[in-house]
Amino acid sequence: MIRAALILLPVLSLAAQAPSRPPAPTEETTIQRFRAHAKPRNVAPRAPLNAEERNTIRRFKEAKPSVVYVSAIAAGRSPGTPDVTKIPIGTATGFVWDEWGHIVTNHHLITVEEGGKRRGDVDEVEITLADGKTYKGRVIGYSFAFDIAVLQAFAPLEAMRPIPIGSSRDLQVGQSVMAIGNPFGLDHSLSKGVISALGREIGTNYSTRITNAIQTDAAVNPGNSGGPLLDSGGRLVGMNTAIVATKGEGSVGVGFSIPVDTLNKFVPLLIARGFLVPERMGFETLNAAVALQTFGIQRGLVVSEVSADSPASRAGIRPLQLDEKGEIKILGDILIAYQGNLIENNGQLMAMLELEPPGDEAVFDVLRDGQIIKVVLNLKPGKAQPASL
């Protein structure tokens, strides 16, 4: 009988069979290892700029020297002292109109307001050109009805680069436009879009409507006002003026521009005359905000002065009279309406006179001694001249 011998062989463990592994690297080890590979990336080749990009770049470079930064400055007094100081009240955009240093911008940018009421225009402006040099400027003409102001820049004439003028009557919805301005103080910012609509109406601060305004989706923000809207040829087709904002004052792609045809009609008149009002009425009125704050007059315009031998004096308009203490002695007349339209403030009256110049006569509703009466000012034809009311 054969017996099988049982031979026990040693069992090798898996640990003995597998090769040993180094411990896993720590996070710090990984970071230090990869730091050694730090070097600039290779620049990927880029295709040439397309024709549209090249045109945009070219037009911006051409227009930039014509766009200026406008700082409005009002006079004020330092607290606790009688010293008069200069107070910046806002910044915006303008553009060079001609080679004689005339700058065009929006009128509302140079207006001083207090408590929501207009007190007047700024005392002076500072105009910064594209090269960074700043010069003094003065307001020499403005229109309430069309929200246009003309400034004289006291800069070297050789530094004036007039912007090319286009036309707005042949614009089409969908064509490309560019806006250049100083939104939020960021000078010479470019935005681009299309004409979204034509023939819009936009309101002014003086209860008037600007017709044939251009609507664009090129980003327009606070500070863009007064800046140029250009077509793809780099020509001025509008002046950026207003935005629609749902919250705050940010752009939502709905901006409006005064058409260049309106500018080309009225800017030369403002340069030549200073005002659009054709007739001298012969009276002056208190600023509505001053009348409210000083005398509590909440309605209409208080007549403060009447010129001798003027339409106002011949019509019997009565001015305000004060005593030695500055208190009301005789209130005089308060202008309530012009040609049947209620008067809310000085600027609105000026705007109405611009839009509806009087012919041979001007009819006012006047509050006198507690009663409203009609007073007719007879205006001599052929005596038209620019003058304040």
The pair phi, psi for residue 288, each rounded to 5°, is -60, -40
Q: Where in the chain is the domain with CATH 2.40.10.10?
A: 65-159, 176-265
Say whether pLDDT at 330 is over 70. Answer: yes
> Catalytic annotation on 107?
no
Catalytic pick among 225, 231, 251, 257:
225
Q: Which of 160-164, 281-285, 355-359 has the lowest mean pLDDT?
A: 355-359
Catalytic pick among 107, 108, 191, 251:
108
Say whether pLDDT at 41 is over 70. Answer: yes
- pLDDT grade, residue 70 (50/70/90)? very high
* Topology (CATH level 3) of domain 176-265: Thrombin, subunit H (2.40.10)
Say whether pLDDT at 19 is over 90. Answer: no
Q: Where in the chain is the domain with CATH 2.30.42.10?
A: 283-378
Q: What is the mean pLDDT of the chain?
A: 85
Q: pTM higher than 0.85, yes or no?
A: no
For 97-155, write each residue's pLDDT tens digit. Answer: 999 999 999 998 888 765 555 666 777 899 999 999 999 999 999 998 899 999 999 99
What is the percent of the chain with per-residue pLDDT over 90, rounded to a whole number? 51
Among the four given CATH numbers 3.30.70.1400, 2.40.30.10, 3.10.20.810, 2.30.42.10, the one describing domain 283-378: 2.30.42.10
Q: State the average pLDDT over residues 284-308.
A: 84
Say whether pLDDT at 323 is over 70. Answer: yes
For 45-58, write each residue's pLDDT tens digit. Answer: 999 999 999 999 99
> Catalytic annotation on 261?
no
> Catalytic annotation on 188?
no
Q: State the average pLDDT over residues 275-284.
A: 80
> CATH assignment of 65-159?
2.40.10.10
Catalytic pick among 66, 71, 143, 147:
147
Say whether pLDDT at 208 is over 90. Answer: no
